[in-house]
Structure 1
């Protein structure tokens, strides 16, 4: 006998809301969502979902629940009518991230009057600010030491690779190499980049990261790359397609042995820990003093100071949200959140009030939002005020 809990039911409804907002729900799912929303017992849960998604930290007394429900129900009825007139609902979610972002934007639109109607007494100070969200850009260091700047609108090509300025794709050569030749990819603050290695392994690199890798791998030999620093998400081509050759990611404090899998490694220069999050498959973490096997949904934490490893279960989608174009912060302290913000927007952040560093913040944000929008959301939830002066942000 299968027992369904209230948590299971809530997850189903949350999925329905996202499917509805992205026009992926079928007629039966429209009906289920309409019945659920119209049930007065679900009013609080509906509000909590929207509040978390749209970052509305208001009291229930200031919240127009009836108006919000009416808005959603009217949209459901309209979609149901459209569904009857069309055999298929067009799928507008090109990537999985679009579903999440669309949900957030729609929720924000529904509650825009609430979001912007109440102005804080403390008005932020903004001086000479021209802070932009990050974009696809990198510097490629070739085997001869020459550097190539890659960014949107530019292109570059060699015998082994080509780039449109927003990604790099290496091709497996017809003639196998006899020795390994390395390239290095540098991602600056305010940047990100996609890379496809010659064996088909995909790598997404986050801001302020550096990866050293072979232009081509040797047949039957371990495929090895080095995450010198920063954060990278790997979708590794399985060893069964490469004569059993293993894949390894090395760093100054750990070596990671892969058996065909997806995982995220975070190893920034200004942090004393390396975090490896396993999405799918199995990996082994090796340090100078110990070894640790990870399975899906586990995250290892390696201390650079003493090489000790700890493991915990994590929300994988939350940990890898950055590759989908969003920031997902669930109970993280502001000090850690501001490190992420500073890398992506290429700014320096100073806490005038040190007590705020440990304040925890929860929510999801679009990475293309203006920095002022993000800070304003935090101002209504966690911080007292902020000041922007050129490329420096002061949290008060």
Structure 2
């Protein structure tokens, strides 16, 4: 692929001027892991230039990037072209972000502060992975983890997902429970074909088989889950319901996300496609695609608003997206995925708002260094499974 073409596409992307053709070029080029590393390098250059300028001069940034790009002689190989512009965006976010995380304050920072890393840093904390605990109807607990397999009468797991097959017939419905610990994620395909992606610190209770024509019901005990429900037309009209705390979600064949963590006072149900109705304390709220219901457990109320779907469900694709989120909320997400506890020694940091994208494959220390570099925190320390922000 032409070096000049790549050079122009990269620069236009980094300064926010890329069109569809530019994204097309980048998507092809970035499939090569060697090129992913190269692009991360270019992004880092652009990122640092932006940080030190109170009013960024796009022409100067372009000149800086051109010099950097032309100085590198790595080979470029062409790969198969894809068509969806959404996929281009996903690849750019997943593979190319500076170490997987960007966090920008409202006002530009005029200089890069010195990084202060604790002398007491004792451990490297790894990102989450595929793991879960399967609890059978008889109370037996079976650990599921990447690289390990499990097989029973109507269920099989390869350690990254668990798949059920078969129907309950006229037999009594038997329930299993799948628990995803902090630092974990998992995929489950229910016996009716419904697909569910489970985030860290989540528990789902479900039947091992369903009876066609009768209600299909599961319970999201706590946590976050993304559902792709098998339509009722495939099951003699039997509807699908998700129970969660004090709310009930009545579903037609559809795709939606529920976020209901035990340490949060709000339950969010977001509709991606299809139709659902959220029933809270007798109040029924139907949702349209791109709408999100918000159950306030403290005030015992429910409201509905339009949201950015990609921001809500990006976790399923390997990234966490934040839009003007307080650092306290961001660190909650980090604590679940990396299985750590976070302490704010400086309480004023909790309410600072940031916008950015965090890769779930990123090393935690690099994320903390980035936050440190932005002068958001003066210092951080890691003690075993505890992070202290100062």
Which TM-score bucket, shorter chain as reference?
0.7 to 0.9
Separation in 2 of the partners of 1:145 and 1:106? 42
Q: Tell me what 2:227 maps to.
A: 234
Contact 1:133–1:370 (Cα < 8 Å) also in 2: yes
Q: Tell me what 2:274 maps to.
A: 281
Separation in 1 of the partners of 2:327 and 2:177? 32
Contact 2:100–2:357 (Cα < 8 Å) also in 1: no
1:239-250 equivalent positions in 2, closer than 5 A: 239-250=232-243
1:186-265 equivalent positions in 2, closer than 5 A: 186-265=179-258
Distance 1:192 1:107, change over 3 A: closer
Distance 1:260 1:299, change over 3 A: same
**Quick check: 293-302 or 64-73, which moved more?**
64-73
Separation in 2 of the partners of 1:364 and 1:14? 21
Contact 1:238–1:261 (Cα < 8 Å) also in 2: yes
Q: Tell me what 1:393 maps to.
A: 387
Superposition deviation, residue 19 in structure 1? 3.3
**Quick check: 369-378 or 119-128, which moved more?**
119-128
Say which structure, 1 or 2, has more relative contact order (CA 8 Å, 6+ apart): 2
1:1-396 equivalent positions in 2, closer than 5 A: 13=18, 16-23=21-28, 57-59=51-53, 60=56, 64-69=61-66, 89-90=80-81, 96=87, 97-104=90-97, 118=112, 120=114, 122-173=116-167, 176-381=169-374, 382-396=376-390
Superposition deviation, residue 91 in structure 1? 5.1
Matched position secondary structure for 1:22 = helix
Structure 2 gaps, min length 5: 1-14, 31-42, 102-110
Superposition deviation, residue 303 in structure 1? 1.3
TM-score by structure 2 length? Answer: 0.80
TM-score by structure 1 length? Answer: 0.79
Deviations 1:121-143 (A, max 9, x none): 53444421131100000000011
Distance 1:284 1:182, change over 3 A: same
**Quick check: 337-346 or 119-128, which moved more?**
119-128
Contact 1:234–1:264 (Cα < 8 Å) also in 2: yes
Contact 1:21–1:102 (Cα < 8 Å) also in 2: no
Separation in 2 of the partners of 1:107 and 1:369? 6
Deviations 1:307-347 (A, max 9, x none): 31111211110111111111211110011110000000000
Separation in 1 of the partners of 2:387 and 2:331? 10
Deviations 1:128-162 (A, max 9, x none): 11311000000000111111000012110111110
Superposition deviation, residue 390 in structure 1? 1.1
Separation in 2 of the partners of 1:338 and 1:368? 16
Structure 1 gaps, min length 5: 1-9, 26-46, 109-116
Superposition deviation, residue 255 in structure 1? 0.3
